[in-house]
């Protein structure tokens, strides 16, 4: 049993992130991007019979999917919250394909949106994290990724300049993305390294900025995809894996669960990393991209720093990576940050990349990453020519 | 009343022996006889073999810094009182612990040997921290 070619992404909706949300609500933003995605797919709301939604930090609650579906007037045959952190959006895509393949539904709305206000605080909410992490100040994601970066530098000699280059090349991509939060001026390696140190060894410009926004994707059966306005983007492979929640208890902090997730995705697709025309790895921090490229098999373990140093990660480069700017330049509107990698891959494969279109883009790799390198979802997507 | 404003652990029935030992300035971890391995944080069952026959045993309190960061800007207001060293310490007995290192940040290195100390942060509350060995 495989999901290869069983369903396609046929429509997207995405907001330019807001630095301050004003009167916006998470449900309001979800409705907006849902309407945009349904129209983009060439469907009507009543065509939607599956509903996967992310729970917003700003308006959480139990029994969330039915409540949101009621607000939007949806009558889904399959509905769920997907709660695997930043991997939720990528996780929604294969879950939608699986539900379609199982005959449960035909057109799934995958939607995420959230609000972030200046000064918002994040505290761990699961009891073991409140008990064994929070008292020592292991609160929020910054600390865990900083410790990954230090260990990576120690084991493999990864350099600060190499990590900074990820942010620099992705910014060059963002300059061609009108939706990106930071798209007004280029960044240099010295800009990154002279930005404020937040959690050693990570500087301010190596860390995502919380913003508000939303994004949606419609995943449909082959039958529905025939009616789509744009070229369908087929799900060829998917893989998911987790082996820890808090990084302290991971088997290794420099080798992530991306490896088994990516291996499963490439195996299902019958393809290899070298076949990809571009990649969209989750980038909450610069180090995340380096670890992802290693564990997904684009370079050897420990060589990620050298790899990003030696390759041009821009849309016109030899290794196009996060052509929308990544979340580092796009901003992180809660879970919609993770959806930005999915929407960008779909845009590139549909040939809607505008000024940042990768030439002859037929195959793309997406990775979604939750928590501190915890939940991982890899996708291989294809545009058939 | 204590003026300590940082989060304090609320022991569960599972973890109470760990925190009670810490209050006596002893480091005790659960040991799985089947796996011949120590476990941290406390569990009802061994996360490897899923056995529930676990025994509390003292450990050396010695280990190495597996990784660390200096938190210069905290994500939580209760830690806004200045930079602190957050670390993962790997004990000589194997398990890794999230902790703090009491040392000037510029002296902390990955792989540095450390030894446990007990920080009585508030009445009835002792945290398990480390300092250079
Ligand atoms: Zn065991």
Q: What is the ipTM of this complex?
A: 0.98
B75 to A136: CB separation less than 8 angstroms, yes or no: no
Q: If you average pLDDT over every residue of chain A, what do you get?
A: 96
- pLDDT surpassing 60 at residue B51: yes
Whether residue B87 is predicted with pLDDT greater than 60 in this model: the reply is: yes
CB contact B71 to A (< 8 Å): yes
Measured in Å, residue B37 CA sits from the centre of ligand 1 at 7
Q: Measure CB to CB from residue A135 to each of B7, B87, B96 and give the nearest one.
A: B7
What percent of chain B is predicted at pLDDT more than 70?
99
Give contacts of A198 with chain B, Cβ < 8 Å: 72-73
pLDDT of A121 reads: 65
Q: What is the pairing mode between strands A78-81 and A197-199?
A: unpaired
pLDDT at A230: 98
Contact A139 B75 (CB under 8 A): yes
Contacts of B88 in chain A (CB under 8 A): 147, 247-248, 253
Instruction: Assess whether pLDDT exceeds 70 at residue A61.
Output: yes
CA distance B97 to B128: 9
Give the pLDDT band of residue B24 (cuts 50, 70, 90). Answer: very high
Q: Which residue has 């060439």 as its token pair?
A: A42
- Ligand 1 centroid to Cα of residue B17, in Å, is 19
Average pLDDT score over residue span B71-91: 93
Of A103 and A119, the structure prediction assigns the larger pLDDT to A103
Given a cut of 90, whether residue A190 has pLDDT beyond it is yes
**What pLDDT digit, counting tens, does each position of A123-161 carry?**
657 889 999 999 999 999 999 999 999 999 999 999 999
Average pLDDT over residues A341-368: 98
Q: Which two tokens stand for residue A21?
A: 């949300």
- Domains of chain A as residue ranges with CATH: 7-117+211-234 (3.40.47.10), 138-208+238-382 (3.40.47.10)
d(CA A188, CA B76): 30
pLDDT of the residue at B75: 83
By DSSP bridging, strand B84-91 and strand B62-71 are antiparallel
Mean pLDDT of B16-40: 98
Q: Is the Cβ–Cβ distance between B88 and B94 less than 8 Å?
A: no
* CA A172 to each of CA A230, A300, A314: distance values in angstroms, whole numbers, following the listed order: 27, 26, 6
């Amino acid at each position: 049993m495989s999901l290869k070619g069983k369903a396609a992404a046929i429509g997207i909706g995405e907001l330019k992130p807001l630095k301050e949300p004003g009167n916006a609500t998470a449900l309001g933003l979800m409705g907006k991007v849902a309407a945009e995605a349904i129209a983009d797919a060439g469907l009507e709301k009543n065509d939607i019979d599956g509903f996967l939604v992310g729970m917003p930090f700003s308006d959480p609650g139990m029994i969330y999917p039915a409540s949101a579906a009621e607000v939007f007037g949806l009558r889904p045959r399959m509905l769920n919250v997907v709660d695997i952190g930043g991997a939720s959006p990528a996780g929604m895509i294969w879950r939608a394909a699986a539900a379609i393949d199982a005959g449960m539904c035909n057109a799934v709305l995958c939607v995420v949106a959230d609000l972030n206000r200046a000064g918002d605080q994040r505290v761990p909410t699961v009891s073991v994290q409140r008990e064994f992490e929070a008292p020592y100040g292991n609160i929020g994601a910054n600390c865990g990724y900083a410790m990954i970066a230090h260990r990576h530098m120690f084991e493999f000699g990864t350099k600060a300049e190499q990590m900074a280059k990820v942010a620099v090349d992705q910014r060059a991509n963002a300059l061609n993305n009108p939706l990106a939060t930071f798209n007004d001026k280029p960044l240099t390696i010295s800009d990154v390294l002279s930005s404020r140190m937040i959690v050693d060894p990570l500087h301010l410009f190596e860390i995502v900025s919380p913003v508000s926004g939303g994004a949606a994707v419609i995943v449909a059966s082959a039958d529905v995809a025939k009616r789509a306005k744009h070229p369908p983007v087929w799900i060829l492979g998917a893989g998911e894996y987790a082996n820890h929640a808090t990084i302290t208890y991971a088997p290794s902090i420099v080798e992530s669960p991306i490896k088994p997730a990516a291996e499963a995705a490439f195996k299902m697709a019958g393809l290899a990393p070298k076949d990809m025309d571009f990649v969209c790895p989750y980038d909450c921090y610069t180090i995340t991209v380096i670890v992802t490229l290693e564990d997904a098999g684009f370079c050897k373990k420990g060589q990620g720093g050298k790899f990003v140093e030696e390759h041009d990660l821009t849309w016109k480069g030899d290794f196009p990576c996060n052509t929308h700017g990544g979340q580092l330049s796009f901003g992180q509107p809660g879970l919609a940050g993770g959806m930005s990698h999915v929407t960008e891959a779909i845009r590139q494969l549909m040939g809607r990349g505008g000024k940042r279109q990768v030439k002859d883009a037929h195959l793309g790799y997406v990775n979604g990453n939750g928590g501190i390198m915890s939940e991982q979802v890899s996708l291989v997507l294809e545009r058939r020519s | 009343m204590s003026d300590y404003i940082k989060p304090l652990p609320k022991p569960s029935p599972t973890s109470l022996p760990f925190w009670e030992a810490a209050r006596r300035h002893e480091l005790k971890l659960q040991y799985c006889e089947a796996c011949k391995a120590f476990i941290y944080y406390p569990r009802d069952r061994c996360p490897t073999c899923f056995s529930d026959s676990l025994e509390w045993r003292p450990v050396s309190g010695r280990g190495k810094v597996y990784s660390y960061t200096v938190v210069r800007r905290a994500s939580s207001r209760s830690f806004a009182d200045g930079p602190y060293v957050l670390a993962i310490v790997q004990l000589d007995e194997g398990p890794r612990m999230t902790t703090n290192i009491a040392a000037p940040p510029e002296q902390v290195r990955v792989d540095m040997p450390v030894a446990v100390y007990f920080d009585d942060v508030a009445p009835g509350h002792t945290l398990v921290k480390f300092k250079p060995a």
